[in-house]
């Protein structure tokens, strides 16, 4: 897998992966807690593809079922909190998991349920992708649920991965430049997560900078904007890549750097499907080997 160099940080993934597997004596497991995407480009489906691409066994707890394609989200059905809790408990009680990520959670009751279930399952690194609005502009989380997320879920997180609209919703400030990204990261960090990864893809201009904030300091991960319409599932794949790296034993900051490298390739290899926003391809490494 080699090394990734971003903004001066070197991540030797092959060494980290080998050490993690030798220590555990089994294949690392990552758990995704999110909704489905019938079009296969986002949510649980994209997460499991990303876990597989990292050599991690993927487990899931489905929170919602969506009728979705490249054009938009046409319907959403939320599962009962008791069933979501049962899924998490079933995985934790038998297979176990080395890291977890949360995506679309749908309601305040489900956010509370997931937080409680994760506490019951025991401490593992958690990535929170605060999915509030779909790529197509559909609202996916209520204001009430956002309040519960701030209070109950973010304090459990090793990493939280907001894009700019999500950072605005979490902090209540406008986030439209680098200075505002720093201020948003400070405010989100005060809510409890160890690392805040603010994604700058919504900024205007030719670049797509991301900010990794931890211990009161930030590191910019620089990259040019990749042209094209194939960006569906970007946030899901980034957070799943971070989760997979955490399951493999990587430090959270290095996991963010590695995920930045991974998503750049996934966007470049985007799949030409449908007539709307096409999906990124978490299987880009397979294509590069063929």
**Residues catalogued as catalytic:** 199, 231, 233-236
**Strand boundaries in the chain, DSSP class E:** 3-6, 9-12, 29-35, 57-68, 73-78, 99-102, 126-128, 159-160, 195-199, 210-214, 217-221
Cβ neighbours, 10 Å, residue 80:
11
- What one-character-per-residue DSSP string does 17-70 give? HHHHHHHHSS--EEEEEEE--TTSSSHHHHHHHHHHHTT-EEEEEEEEEEEE-S
Separation of alpha carbons 199 and 156, rounded Å:
20
């Amino acid at each position: 897998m080699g090394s990734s160099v971003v903004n001066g940080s070197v991540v030797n993934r092959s060494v980290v992966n080998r050490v993690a597997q030798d220590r555990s004596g089994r294949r690392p497991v990552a758990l995704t807690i999110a909704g489905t995407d019938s079009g296969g480009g986002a949510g649980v489906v994209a997460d499991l593809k990303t876990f597989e691409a990292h050599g991690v066994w993927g487990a899931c707890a489905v929170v919602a079922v969506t009728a979705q394609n490249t054009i938009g989200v046409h319907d959403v059905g939320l599962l009962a909190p008791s069933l979501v809790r049962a899924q998490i408990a079933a995985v934790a009680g038998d297979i176990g998991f080395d890291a977890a990520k949360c995506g679309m959670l749908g309601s305040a009751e489900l956010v509370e349920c997931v937080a409680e279930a994760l506490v019951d399952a025991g401490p593992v690194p958690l990535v929170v992708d605060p999915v509030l609005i779909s790529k197509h502009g559909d609202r996916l989380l209520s204001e009430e649920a956002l309040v519960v997320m701030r209070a109950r879920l973010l304090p459990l997180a090793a990493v939280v991965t907001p894009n700019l609209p999500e950072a605005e919703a979490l902090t209540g400030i406008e986030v439209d430049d680098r200075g505002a990204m720093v201020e948003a990261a400070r405010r989100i960090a005060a809510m409890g997560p160890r690392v805040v990864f603010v994604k700058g893809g919504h900024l205007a201009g030719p670049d797509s900078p991301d900010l990794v904030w931890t211990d009161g300091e930030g590191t910019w991960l620089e990259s040019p904007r990749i042209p094209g319409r194939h960006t569906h599932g970007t946030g899901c794949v980034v957070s799943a890549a971070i989760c997979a790296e955490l399951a493999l034993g990587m430090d959270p900051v290095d996991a963010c750097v590695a995920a930045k490298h991974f998503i750049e390739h996934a966007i470049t290899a985007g799949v030409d499907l449908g007539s709307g926003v096409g999906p990124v391809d978490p299987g880009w490494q397979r294509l590069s080997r063929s």
